[in-house]
Chain A
Amino acid sequence: MAESSQSKSGGKKRSRSESEGDPDADADAASLQSIQLENDLNFTDTAIALQMMKAQFPKLDKVVVRPFILRSQLYSSVKDRTQVDRDLESLKKEAVVRVFKLNTGKDDHAIMFMDDYLAQMENAVKRYDAKDKQLSDVFDWFKQYVIKSKTDVSISHPELCSLLSNGGDVTEKHVTLLINAGLLTCQLIDQNLYWFVIPNIGSILKGLSQGRKELLSLINRTKYKEMVLANLEKKRLRLSPLDIRFHIRDLIGSGLLKTVQSPIGLLIRLSRD
């Protein structure tokens, strides 16, 4: 009990100094900021974890992206991974969230709430002015028929055409328009299959992979390949617009870092295998 109150007061102290010297401090409630990651690392329920992590998503200045959560972050927050998978599956079926496979090269999945995704899609469509106004009906068809019924991460070409044709006649130009707007991507291995993507996410993905590398090298450079979590949280990453908590959660969940309890607090250690 004494330990937790001590850390809480320490957290408050840190938050004050952090908010002073931090130009793009979150507009989040100050209470969220003061909760250290150490106290906030574990949740009991997937849905609660998703909500909390969405609230803690960092504000980015250059790009406007609605909050998304990586699957590995969920794994690090909730104890039972199988339960996470199953909860996620039922949330997907209820169309509360949507899962996307990211093309960072590793097996990453991003989870986004459905209303966030629809808002993101609206922004993307608005920004992309179609040359041919008749073709832009395809965006409505996409939203109405494809997104609602297909909850997977990918879709095949014949199926896409058949679902879109519920709205009207579909030609190849419509599909090209969808790809150009950034809502679909061709799979590399198979030309007939498309991934669903979050539009305008490219720069963040680059930041994600670079930030991961930077964080891993940061811990690798220490003498014993470990660091106290409280100290690690204070650092800022140069190459990634996402904050360090995002990356820590992600790396713990994918198994590259592990947490160790110690008398000082929680340590983050590079996992060897």
Chain B
Amino acid sequence: MLEETEDEYLNRCAAAAQDFVDFLDEEDVDDDEYFHRLMVYHKPGGSDQTRTRPVPFPDPTQTVDEPRGVVRVGFITGQVRHEAQRRAGQASPTEQHFVWSRVGFVFRLVCSSRLRRGGREELYMWTWKALNQREDGSLRPSAFRRGVVSSRASSLQLSNAKEFISLHRGAINSLEIDSTEGEGRYLLSAASDGTVAVFDTHRPTSSSSSSSTSIAQHHPLFHLPRAHKFAISRALWYPVDTGLFITASFDHYVKLWDTNSTQVVLDYKLPAKVYGIAMSSIATSHSLIATATADVQVRLCDLASGAFAHTLSGHRDGVMSLEWSSSTEFVLITGGCDGAIRFWDIRRPGTFLLLDQSLSQLGTRPPLLPTPTPSNNESTSLPASSKSSSSTPILPAQKRRSHKKIQLKPPTQSSHPGMASSQNRATAHYGAVNGLRATADGFYLLSSGSDSRLRLWDIESGRNTLVNYEAMSIQTSKPIQLAVTPDSSLVFVPCLASLKAYDLWSGTTINTYRGHYESVNCCFFNAQDQELYTGSNDRQILVWSPSIPAATQIEEADSKGGITSIDQDNWSD
């Protein structure tokens, strides 16, 4: 009935964002959900109107204990079990392959497959039990989605379906995907040779086809060879849309570019080399670019007027990393080469909070008498430690100490709430702070230092949560870019030539991603597709996507035509 092949049809539907129509008649079309290629779709006009793309399913390591049909379920549970075993490392991928080939694929719908959509290949795994729960409403769509997303995020591997062809001739220092609502599509990369490139992560430009797999290649949409004279340390998209992007370089300039014409619209000259820039993505009343330079002052550049708004001084050495708060549009967090992390409210002068690594959350309570010290710490208590008896002896000591501190301040310096800590030498790290990342909910801050430590801070109280991230070694010379998953479960840290993923709350190493030949500088987690992009000194951008089981080989054999022979067993090839 259709003259185009199925793949072309799928591509066309994907491009138009339409639902797919199942080619095979299945008796399941009685529900408003139907299956095609092991994915659940909703018929247009079905209960869940919002879903126009196939729904991936949660963790297949959940046990399946309630089969409903005979053939399909038996097959599916077998497949799920094998997938679970494979993930547990007990069954080899080839064993799973045998399971697949064994059932024979009379029904195309009962195989897991790749879905091509505009060049992007995804794989969805399926759990019968979760599907039942979705059907009878006991599992909400958001919980469903969360389970799937987190299982995909923790199963990343070097992608064998997608690659970026980078034309950079220098180390890649910065990667960023635009943060437009609902679609994070364009990847902006900046390198040490002064070049900037933008990639489209959804559509490949070509594909290199080999015998069994074809890798979708993404060439840059444009590549600016001489954007800056020296190395570019950071490139950012304008938070509102992709019409503008901003680059900061070691040649002391911050430039604002128009994306469509790739011309410089504005530039700012700074007194020293720029290590980092940041723009607040939630800001509605200001459009300030905060710049971190080797100079001790943090300068805010105003986009609307083209001039500098004001400067924040307080650091003792250069500032290496900065980040706007993800909950307030007026709070800026900076990390300096002196090891201090300062919080600034840009409406007032001075730092209002300085993070001290020796202050932990243990047993803190606000002082009984109001002291003039500006950094009033809220009380938080650790869930793990229950030593509340230790809190009372601390209290008089703290009070006495703060009282003494006030006496020693030189009387000529007027103190007001903003000017807390020009005297405060507290350090957050023993070396320079070279990476900062706030969690998406705005409660916690992660900071990485050149003392090879990653620390988690509770922002509200300003205390060290003492979560210990297992041994890592962080390069000391450059600012690095950390990545956190939006549900705050994993943090990705570049450690020399590999990238490590840690559980945010307990500090255990979940995964180590080894693929680069030289030190990794930056990483970005694409929350839409649960992919991780990393850039390193070896001039490559690598893509890490959720792992694909070996069943894809069946798909190839199947598409060449005909039903594969059922007469196979575990030992057949």
> A residues bordering B, Cβ < 8 Å?
75, 80-87, 89-90, 93-94, 107, 149, 152-153, 156, 158-159, 162-163, 190, 192-193, 254-255, 273
A192 touches B425 (CB 8 A): yes
A85 to B385, CA, bound (A): 11
B405 touches A159 (CB 8 A): yes
Complex A-B: 6 CB contacts under 8 Å: A86-B362, A87-B385, A89-B360, A90-B363, A149-B401, A193-B425
Contacts A90-B387, A192-B425: A82 and B506 contacting too (C-beta < 8 A)?
yes
Residue of A nearest to B359 (CB): A152
A85 touches B466 (CB 8 A): yes
Is the C-beta of B556 less than 8 angstroms from some C-beta in chain A?
Answer: no
A45 to B468, CA, bound (A): 16
Contacts A159-B405, A273-B496, A273-B497: A84 and B468 contacting too (C-beta < 8 A)?
yes
B363 touches A93 (CB 8 A): yes
Distance in angstroms from A139 CB to nearest chain B CB is: 21
Chain B, 497-513, CB within 8 A of any chain A CB: 497-498, 506-507
Given contacts A86-B385, A90-B363, A93-B363, 9 further A-B contacts (CB under 8 A): A80-B506, A86-B362, A86-B384, A90-B385, A93-B362, A149-B401, A159-B405, A162-B404, A273-B498
B362 touches A90 (CB 8 A): yes
Contacts A81-B468, A90-B387: A107 and B453 contacting too (C-beta < 8 A)?
yes
Chain B, 320-362, CB within 8 A of any chain A CB: 358, 360, 362
Residues of B within 8 A of A159 (CB): 401, 404-405
Is the C-beta of B473 less than 8 angstroms from some C-beta in chain A?
Answer: yes
Residues of A within 8 A of B405 (CB): 158-159
Is the C-beta of B563 less than 8 angstroms from some C-beta in chain A?
Answer: no
Distance in angstroms from A148 CB to nearest chain B CB is: 9
Is the C-beta of B407 less than 8 angstroms from some C-beta in chain A?
Answer: yes
Is the C-beta of B70 less than 8 angstroms from some C-beta in chain A?
Answer: no
Is the C-beta of B264 less than 8 angstroms from some C-beta in chain A?
Answer: no
Distance in angstroms from A64 CB to nearest chain B CB is: 30
Annotate B387-420 by CB proximity to A: 1 below 8 A, 0 otherwise: 1001001100100110011011000000000000
> B residues bordering A, Cβ < 8 Å?
358, 360, 362-363, 382, 384-385, 387, 390, 393-394, 397, 400-401, 404-405, 407-408, 425, 430, 451-453, 466-468, 470-473, 495-498, 506-507
A81 touches B470 (CB 8 A): yes
A273 to B404, CA, bound (A): 48
Distance in angstroms from A213 CB to nearest chain B CB is: 17
Distance in angstroms from A255 CB to nearest chain B CB is: 3
A175 to B408, CA, bound (A): 18
B394 touches A93 (CB 8 A): yes
Residues of A within 8 A of B452 (CB): 107
A81 touches B507 (CB 8 A): yes
A94 to B389, CA, bound (A): 9
Residue of B nearest to A258 (CB): B471
Contacts A162-B407, A192-B425, A273-B496: A107 and B384 contacting too (C-beta < 8 A)?
no
A57 to B453, CA, bound (A): 28
A86 touches B382 (CB 8 A): yes
B407 touches A273 (CB 8 A): no
Residue of B nearest to A107 (CB): B451
The 7 closest A-B pairs by CB, nearest first: A255-B471, A81-B468, A85-B466, A162-B404, A90-B387, A93-B390, A152-B358
Residue of A nearest to B397 (CB): A149
A178 to B425, CA, bound (A): 22
A84 to B469, CA, bound (A): 12
A255 touches B387 (CB 8 A): no
Distance in angstroms from A74 CB to nearest chain B CB is: 11
Residue of B nearest to A80 (CB): B506
Q: Which of A93, A192, A193, A255 contacts B470 (CB 8 A)?
A: A255
Distance in angstroms from B536 CB to nearest chain A CB is: 14
Q: Which of B430, B466, B470 contacts A89 (CB 8 A)?
A: B466
Residues of B within 8 A of A190 (CB): 425
A112 to B66, CA, bound (A): 58
B390 touches A90 (CB 8 A): yes
A158 to B404, CA, bound (A): 9
Residues of B within 8 A of A87 (CB): 385
A156 touches B425 (CB 8 A): yes
Residues of B within 8 A of A89 (CB): 360, 362, 385, 466
Q: Which of A86, A153, A156, A158 has the most CB of B within 10 A?
A: A86
Residues of B within 8 A of A90 (CB): 362-363, 385, 387, 390
Q: Which of A83, A107, A254, A273 has the most CB of B within 10 A?
A: A273
A75 to B469, CA, bound (A): 11
Residues of B within 8 A of A273 (CB): 473, 495-498
A190 to B425, CA, bound (A): 9
A80 to B466, CA, bound (A): 12
A84 to B470, CA, bound (A): 12
A151 to B387, CA, bound (A): 17
Residue of A nearest to B382 (CB): A86
A192 to B362, CA, bound (A): 27
B471 touches A158 (CB 8 A): no
Distance in angstroms from A211 CB to nearest chain B CB is: 19
Distance in angstroms from B417 CB to nearest chain A CB is: 22
A82 to B502, CA, bound (A): 13
Residue of B nearest to A161 (CB): B408
Residues of B within 8 A of A158 (CB): 405, 408
Residue of A nearest to B407 (CB): A162
A80 to B393, CA, bound (A): 28
A159 to B398, CA, bound (A): 12
Residue of A nearest to B339 (CB): A189
A162 to B470, CA, bound (A): 38
Residue of B nearest to A256 (CB): B471
A36 to B397, CA, bound (A): 44
Residues of A within 8 A of B394 (CB): 93
A192 to B426, CA, bound (A): 12
Distance in angstroms from B451 CB to nearest chain A CB is: 5
Residues of A within 8 A of B466 (CB): 82, 85-86, 89
Residue of B nearest to A163 (CB): B404
A85 to B387, CA, bound (A): 14
A162 to B394, CA, bound (A): 18
A175 to B506, CA, bound (A): 42
Residues of A within 8 A of B408 (CB): 158, 162
A85 to B471, CA, bound (A): 14
A225 to B390, CA, bound (A): 46
A212 to B393, CA, bound (A): 39
B425 touches A83 (CB 8 A): no
Residues of A within 8 A of B473 (CB): 255, 273
A193 to B430, CA, bound (A): 13
Contacts A152-B358, A162-B404: A82 and B507 contacting too (C-beta < 8 A)?
yes
Residue of A nearest to B390 (CB): A93
Residues of B within 8 A of A80 (CB): 506
Contacts A192-B425, A273-B495: A82 and B468 contacting too (C-beta < 8 A)?
yes
Q: Which of B387, B452, B496 has the most CB of A within 10 A?
A: B387
Q: Which of A81, A83, A152, A162 contacts B384 (CB 8 A)?
A: A83
Contacts A82-B507, A86-B466, A90-B387: A254 and B362 contacting too (C-beta < 8 A)?
no
Residue of A nearest to B471 (CB): A255
Distance in angstroms from A54 CB to nearest chain B CB is: 21
A86 to B393, CA, bound (A): 18
Residues of B within 8 A of A93 (CB): 362-363, 387, 390, 393-394
Residues of B within 8 A of A84 (CB): 468
